Amino acid sequence: MRYIDLSKINPNSPEVIAWKKKAAVHLGNISTLSSHKDRKDYFSKNSFWSDFKPILLNIYGSKCWYSECSLDGSYGDVDHFRPKNKSTALNGTTILPDGYWWLAYDYNNYRLSCEKCNRCYNGGGKNDCFPLKQGSTPAINPQSSDDNILLDPCNQDDYYLIDSDENGDIIAMSTDKYDVSRVETSKKVYNWKEFKEGRKKARLESKTAIEMFEIFYQDNNANGIQKSLEQIKLKIDPKTPYSSFAVKYIYRKISGKPYEAIIKKLLESYT
């Protein structure tokens, strides 16, 4: 899961201002509707959030925020992190029958997603699933809030809760029981097992890149060092599939090495 800094979206850019004006109209319209059916019908006819997708793609690249797979060659969804129609628990029972409808036209609630993460697929898929922390009261209007269990790519603390092992399997980076349960729940809902090979490949390629850099560094080969740094840049570029796992792996591998500062500077420039 990559970390997405939503502050990179310039709210004062002409395209965002134009979108927000139209979104405000849609929100005003839907605020007058009193029934779930009427709101659901309105959403089906006014999926204006899809018009925000080009803005997200331009800023963050063609990559799923949940899995980090490439969206090239696929439709790609603008997922509502807090579901707009209804929200359900893991067992399928309804939590909010009307969902977080007031966030339907709020781009801060949007997450770029591949179909495997967002739609019902092979026993998982986010769709309307949005379980809450035990004891958390569901939000029922814009003035209230609740505590989500699913890891959020737009929350940097959540980003640091996961990594992958040498086999590409997702692992929790916390021993706290609640943190571990959040990772396990997210793993199931987002279908993360389906992207195991991509994470494994990213880790192996990062291992090779670091080993090549170390050889050139030990030989004081300036040309080789530069070329290997370029390879590392490709692996950690935020728009490269599974790059967050490459970044985390490289941070661990360079710890305590004589060239740690060199690579760390490069990593920090990309994260």
In the chain, pLDDT over 90 holds for what percent of residues? 92
| Distance in angstroms (rounded) separating the CA atoms of residues 83 and 26 | 17
User: What pLDDT was estimated at residue 25?
Assistant: 97
**Distance separating alpha carbons of residues 127 and 120, to the nearest angstrom:** 6
- Which tokens belong to 176? 């706290």
Res 140 pLDDT > 70: yes
Round to whole Å and give the CA distance between 1 and 153.
6
95-122: average pLDDT: 92
Euclidean distance between CA atoms 157 and 110, whole angstroms: 18
Kindly report, residue by residue over 206-231, the tens digit of the pLDDT.
999 999 999 999 999 999 999 999 99
Give the C-alpha separation, 117 to 192, whole Å. 8
**Residue 236: is its pLDDT beyond 80?**
yes
Instruction: Read off the pLDDT band of 122 (50, 70, 90).
Output: low
Is the pLDDT at 86 greater than 70, yes or no? yes
| Separation between Cα atoms, residue 146 and residue 172, nearest integer Å | 23
Question: Which pLDDT belongs to residue 120?
Answer: 72
Lowest mean pLDDT: which of 2-16, 18-32, 73-87?
A: 73-87
pLDDT score of 123: 66
What would the DSSP string read from start to end of 216-250? Answer: HHHTT-HHHHHHHHHHHHHHH-TTSTTHHHHHHHH
76 neighbors 95 (Cβ within 8 angstroms): no
Are 231 and 212 within 8 A, CB to CB? yes
